[in-house]
Amino acid sequence: MNNAITLNSIRFIVLVLVQVLLVNNINFMGYINPYIYILFIILYPINNNRMLFLFLSFLLGLSVDLFLDSGGVHAAASVFIAFTRPLFLKFAFGMTYEHQTVKINTSDIGQRLTYFMLIIVVHHLLLFTLEVFNTSKVLLILKKTLFSSIFTVILCVLITVLFSRKSK
């Protein structure tokens, strides 16, 4: 248990710092940035205290907002996906989730990809809608969501593959 707390706190700090200092300077094609900090929310243990999880997600988004001067957009999107995460889990993993036995690191690659993609697309859509904050720019929002999501999914999958411990 203690191990999980340390792991998650380190992950929290490292992901925020990597996001704001490194990844946010990519600006591929001028505006495409991956948002890998949500890996914290994606990989957070499943049998958790939901109140704490919501609060941590809020804190995560808020710290990214602090660094990026973006008001509260990251906080809003993070809290939203943290709250709706059980739905995505249920959709992607089906029965195994019901029995609370999902281990994201050891799950089937197809299921894992569905889960990642769903959660990332929802997060990015909300993020860019709030960031642009202008209904007449729906196309811009969709364009940003699409390209950034692709980028984020690829990076997140790569990171989880790289850092997964060889269990099995």
Q: How many whole angstroms separate alpha carbon 159 and alpha carbon 61?
A: 20
Residue among 86 and 94 whose Cβ is closer to another protein: 86
Q: Give whole-number Cα distances, 113 to 26, 38, 124, 138, in Å.
A: 24, 15, 16, 26
Nearest C-alpha neighbor of 96 from the set 81, 115, 77, 82: 115
Report 6-65 residues binding another protein (CB under 8 A): 17, 20-21, 24, 27, 30-33, 50-51, 54-55, 58, 61-62, 65
* Interface with another protein: number of residues (CB under 8 A): 38
Q: What are phi and psi of 32, to 5 degrees?
A: -90, 115
Residue among 68 and 159 whose Cβ is closer to another protein: 68
Going by C-beta distance under 8 Å and a sequence separation of 6 or more, which residues neighbour residue 20? 64, 67, 68
| Minimum CB–partner distance for residue 51 and another protein (Å) | 6
Which residue in 1, 3, 47, 69 binds another protein (CB under 8 A)? 69
CB atoms within 10 A of CB 118: 18
With binding defined as CB under 8 A, does residue 120 bind another protein? Answer: no
Structure tokens at 21: 């200092």
Which residue in 8, 12, 18, 70 binds another protein (CB under 8 A)? 70
Q: How many whole angstroms separate alpha carbon 151 and alpha carbon 148?
A: 5
Q: Which range, of 34-42, 77-85, 107-115, 160-168, touches another protein by CB under 8 A?
A: 77-85
| Minimum CB–partner distance for residue 89 and another protein (Å) | 15
**Residues in touch with another protein (CB under 8 A):** 17, 20-21, 24, 27, 30-33, 50-51, 54-55, 58, 61-62, 65-73, 75-76, 79-80, 82-83, 130-134, 137, 140
